[in-house]
Amino acid sequence: MPSDDQTDPDADTTGADPAEPGPMFSRFGIASAVLAVLAVAAVVCGGLAWSRHSAAEAARSHQSDVLQVAAQWANTLVNMNAENVEASLATLRDGTVGELNTDFEAVLGPFRDVVQKVKAATTGQIDAVAIESVRRDDGPAPEPALPDGLAERTESVIVVANATSQNAAGKPQARSWLLRLEVAEVDGQLLISRLEPLR
Amino acid sequence: MRNLWRLLAFDLAAPALILAALAGIGVVLDWPTWWVSVASMLGLLVVQGVLVNLYLLRRDGVSVGTDDDAPGLRLAVAGVAAGAAVAAALVAHTHWTVADRTFEADRAAVVSVATEVAEATATFSPAEPTAGIERAAALMVPGSATAFRDNFGRSTADLAKRRITAQAQTVSAGLESLAPDGATAVVVMRTSQTAPGKSASRAVVGLRLSLQPSAEGWRVVDIAPLQRVDG
């Protein structure tokens, strides 16, 4: 808001002789200018608050989507049976990216062999998923799962699942999964870039 | 030219800023009923003022912005517009910026307390049999701390007698849920237990810790194992 009364003789309240030229800015003009600056500053601060809040909300929404993708992927993993193993592995592979995708057979192929061999009926459920914020691994930091610049952002997710398998002999066997999944956003799609059992 | 600027600033921009501020406050507060009433009333007054001003401009050729005899009124308009903008910025700061900072601080505090308590519950030394229990109980709500001491205090004498040492180290931890009145965190830790003459037994344990805010910060209410069997 621009200041007013900058040359306004009526607004001049300095009490000077009317014949004399008044000051360039009257008190009202200066006060209005100060208020205009204050208003502009308030608008800028409000805009910044909105921008930061939008970014924070977007980050929380992204993390919520990440948790959902990780839970769905892990749910398929812990519910693999002899009947659905091929379809499950295809679904799992479609949800991966990077080395995990290219080395998929090496990483998850052994699961297929075990599932088909024992012919167990497995039912599993996801008991907890959380965005990892504390990580204290022994040894050197792992190599990045994806080449630089491929993923727009990456989150690590802790997944805890429990499954019960009943083999041909009918003996139920419980198994717990403690996993760390890395979820990467690649071309707007959330994909699993690393699967790591927590040991 | 000067009158054009005054017209734009005081007759158009200032009321537009007031209306935008009223709407902005509504957006930040998510339009509660009381604000819908207040904003409607104030907004109607502003629109009414603008219309009367435009009518006077057409009739007399002078408006609030261009009237040389009313610098005080212009100042008042500028003051109200600036006040509305500052109010909107303050509401955005308290409801958005402060709330977001609090959320991030709570997220870090919840995971930190959960990690510390989880490790303390699985740590035992015969030299200080109650140290781990007291460290964990100090970060629990009073009721849970008492129950925890009662449940685990009894076994400490036996563990001390058998010279058993237990240690735990967090491998991974994260926030599962967070609300103003409660939170849950997941902690996965590596535990080891040693007894004289026996080889150390190791396991990876997953725990869910429920926490509540208190005057001293976030405090643990409940600890539950996540595994039905060892993984």
The pLDDT tens digits of the residues spanning B179-230 come to 999 999 999 999 999 988 888 899 999 999 999 999 999 999 999 999 876 4
- Taking CA atoms, A52 is separated from A74, B46, B220, in Å, by 33, 30, 31
pLDDT band for position A10 (cuts 50, 70, 90): very low
Instruction: Write down the pLDDT at residue A8.
Output: 44
For residue A39 the two structure tokens come to 């208003």
Q: Is the ipTM of this complex over 0.95?
A: no
- The whole-angstrom distance between B216's CA and the closest CA on chain A is 22
Contact of A88 with chain B, judged by CB distance below 8 Å, is answered with: no
CA distance B14 to A34: 14
Per the CB < 8 Å rule, is A38 touching B86?
yes
For the purposes of burial, counting CB atoms within 10 Å of the CB of A85, is it exposed (0-12), middle (13-18) or buried (19 or more)?
middle
The residue behind tokens 């965190």 is B185
Looking at chain A, list the stretches that DSSP marks H as alpha helix, in order from N- to C-terminal side.
27-78, 85-94, 99-102, 104-118
* Domains of chain B with bracketed CATH: 2-100 (no CATH), 105-225 (3.10.450.540)
Q: Give the homologous superfamily in CATH for domain A47-134+141-197.
A: VirB8 protein (3.10.450.230)
Instruction: Write down the pLDDT at residue A22.
Output: 58
- Taking CA atoms, A9 is separated from A28, A54, B1, B77, in Å, by 11, 48, 17, 20
Interface residue of B74, B191, B210 to substitute, partner A, most A CBs within 10 Å: B74
- C-alpha of A143 from chain center: 21
Give the DSSP letter of residue B210: E
Q: Quote the mean pLDDT of chain B.
A: 92
Torsion region of B217: left, alpha or beta (phi above 0 gives left; psi -120 to 50 gives alpha): left
Chain A, residues 133-192, CB within 8 A of chain B, namely 133-137, 156-158, 160, 162, 174-178, 180
Contact of A124 with chain B, judged by CB distance below 8 Å, is answered with: no
Q: Quote the mean pLDDT of chain A.
A: 84
pTM: 0.83
Per the CB < 8 Å rule, is B174 touching A157?
yes
Averaged pLDDT, B53-65: 89
Please list the helix, strand and coil fractions of chain A in percent, rounded to the nearest 5, in that order.
Answer: 40, 25, 30
CB neighbourhood size of A60 (10 A): 14
Contact A9, A29 (CB under 8 A): no
